[in-house]
Amino acid sequence: MKNALLFPYNARYWGWTFITLSLIGTILLMVTQIEPTYLDLKMPALAADTLFSNNRTWFRLIENNIADELFAIIFLLGCIMVGFAKERKEDEYTALLRLQSLMWSVYIHYSLLILSWLFVYELSFIWVVLGGMFAFWVIFILRFRWVLWKAKNSTLDEQ
């Protein structure tokens, strides 16, 4: 089955490499609290409000260390490549499993988000926002790999 929106099969290896590197980088960043100085850059910010400030500023250059932004982007790119890489034998059944997994992910992700809106407040909600950005892809990839694995190891076989 031809689907021009999918990446080639080998993109998954790049994807997993990106995910691994970004996770290692993020953990190192959190544990050591050391941000590489060469990533201190002036970035064009569309919006950049400071905490507890009423001064809303638009379109200005801000000084920022982009290590965490870089790891987040690499992680998401990795997820997209893993999730949307063709299978070795890509066919219509695989496409159905992928679509179902995407729907599962939407349902679970937004159910969790609704619960979070109801039960998480104030600064703690930042964790919901942060987690929410990545949860969709994590749920999708886990569910898709799980159903593919189940299908490949199905016990009902030929006779």
Rule CB under 8 A: which residues touch another protein? 87, 89, 91-94, 96, 148, 151-152, 154, 156-159
Q: Taking a C-beta distance cutoff of 8 angstroms, is the pair 106, 132 a contact?
A: no
- Count Cα neighbours of 112 within 13 Å in the Cβ-side half-sphere: 16
Rounded distance between C-alpha atoms, residue 68 and residue 32, angstroms: 13
By C-alpha distance, which of 59, 61, 75 is closest to 23? 75
CB of 87 to another protein, least distance (A): 7
To which H or E segment does residue 47 belong?
strand 40-47
Nearer Cβ to another protein (94/101): 94
C-alpha–C-alpha distance, residues 19 and 55, integer Å: 37
Rounded Cα distance, 99 and 94, in Å: 9
Minimum Å distance from CB 5 to another protein? Answer: 18
Q: Which is nearer to another protein, 55 or 159 (CB)?
A: 159
Q: Closest distance between another protein and the C-beta of residue 151, in Å? A: 4
Please state the separation of Cα 44 from the chain's center in Å.
24
Distance CA 25, CA 82 (A): 19
CB of 159 to another protein, least distance (A): 8
Q: Closest CB to another protein among 6 and 19?
A: 6
Question: Considering beta carbons, is residue 110 or 149 the nearer one to another protein?
Answer: 149
Shortest distance, CB of residue 95 to another protein, whole angstroms? 10
**Nearer CB in complex with another protein: 56/152:** 152
